[in-house]
Chains A and B, each alone.
Chain A
């Protein structure tokens, strides 16, 4: 019994460390895009857009990145950063599921569902 418990605790610690690594990668990707954008901005002194405008749609951002525009990289980084808390919720569902804590699998999934609903409401 004690051995089982120890194994479970060890496994949980492993899962938590994996989650920690996933979160670090997520934030790092956001930061790299932001830094690249700032670097391009400082080197070229050109945001890539006229009249202080900047891209706000995903398509415009992708197009801007393809032509190495500073603000496109910066907006992409910002968008990835916004997604990191959502990533945290998703990996938490996985952790609770691994822990066989079904109540919290449901609770955390509910949070994710409410987040999606708020995304939908926000864009109407």
Chain B
């Protein structure tokens, strides 16, 4: 028992650190450890991974008393799309063939990793629009953050809000239908579509994931999918890891974060496509 708790604790610290840096839930690390490593039912893996998402989100929230990297307005505006999407997804489960969904969302991630690669090569992290976006002005979404790596304040503009909103809706649908955290899609909407810099994208995705996951987590909690002996040590590890990770994220160069992101996205995307094709 003691060994198991220790392993889950360590897995949690790793998943939390990575999750907080990349703005992903850590479910992709937790799930395979539980199903493949420990050999437990997928039901408990989903339960533990939803707790992992919330722990990553809340752990990175408390790393700073005042988080200037996070864009709270963007988070709350888009959260409407993700939560509505998640409810609809949960209702529509079974209406649309989940294999097709896996393939579709998988290819979307592969495409977005290619997009990130292009951006990494282009080298320009921050967008400066000559013409301000009307919706971004109306909803006061443009913001600035202090980059601890570059040691300067960075102003940024946000654009393509309707597109970002739609992708967030899709991300919500995916998490409702497939039971995934869909942090990757959130970062994709913020970074690829809305052109937010990577660090605010990651921090904002982290906050949003927790809110989306909280809605479905109570369902799993009361139906017994969340086993205390698994979820608790993982959650404790993640709380520690996420606090470390969100601090590390702020001092890392954006390029390093992006370079880490590309293989992770590609892996997640291919995994989903293969799952949809029935290979996995």
List residues of A whose CB falls within 8 A of some B CB. Answer: 13, 16-17, 20-21, 23-24, 26-27, 31, 34-35, 37-38, 41-42, 45, 47, 54, 56-57, 71, 74-75, 77-79, 81-86, 88-89, 92, 95, 101, 103-104, 107-108, 110-111, 114-115, 117-119, 121-123
Residues of A within 8 A of B1 (CB): 41-42, 45
Cα A115 to Cα B90 with chains together (Å): 13
A-B contact pairs, 29 of them (CB 8 A): A16-B66, A23-B61, A27-B239, A34-B235, A47-B229, A54-B227, A71-B229, A77-B232, A78-B228, A81-B51, A81-B54, A81-B235, A82-B218, A82-B221, A83-B214, A85-B58, A85-B210, A85-B211, A85-B214, A88-B210, A88-B211, A104-B73, A104-B140, A111-B211, A114-B84, A114-B215, A118-B87, A121-B90, A122-B219
A54-B224, A82-B218, A84-B214 known; 8 new pairs, CB 8 Å cut-off, are A17-B65, A38-B232, A56-B221, A56-B222, A78-B226, A104-B140, A118-B87, A119-B218
Cα A47 to Cα B87 with chains together (Å): 35
B154 on the A face (CB < 8 A):
no
Contact digits for B32-69, partner A, Cβ 8 Å, 1 yes 0 no: 00000000000000000001001101110110111100
Are B54 and A85 in contact, with the CB atoms below 8 A? yes
Residue of B nearest to A14 (CB): B66
Residue of B nearest to A72 (CB): B228
Residues of A within 8 A of B110 (CB): none
Q: How far is the CB of A99 from chain B (nearest CB, A)?
A: 10
Q: How many residues of B contact A (CB 8 A)?
A: 53
Which of B75-83, B98-106, B178-186 participates in binding chain A?
B75-83
Residues of A within 8 A of B21 (CB): none
B236 on the A face (CB < 8 A):
yes
Are A123 and B218 in contact, with the CB atoms below 8 A? yes
Cα A89 to Cα B211 with chains together (Å): 8
Report which of A21, A74, A110, A115 forms a contact with B214, defined as CB distance below 8 A. Answer: A115
Residue of B nearest to A101 (CB): B140
Residues of B within 8 A of A108 (CB): 76
Residues of B within 8 A of A122 (CB): 90, 215-216, 218-219
Residues of A within 8 A of B61 (CB): 23, 27, 84, 88
Residues of B within 8 A of A88 (CB): 58, 61, 207, 210-211
Cα A16 to Cα B57 with chains together (Å): 17
Are A85 and B232 in contact, with the CB atoms below 8 A? no
Q: How far is the CB of B177 from chain A (nearest CB, A)?
A: 14
Q: How far is the CB of B77 from chain A (nearest CB, A)?
A: 6
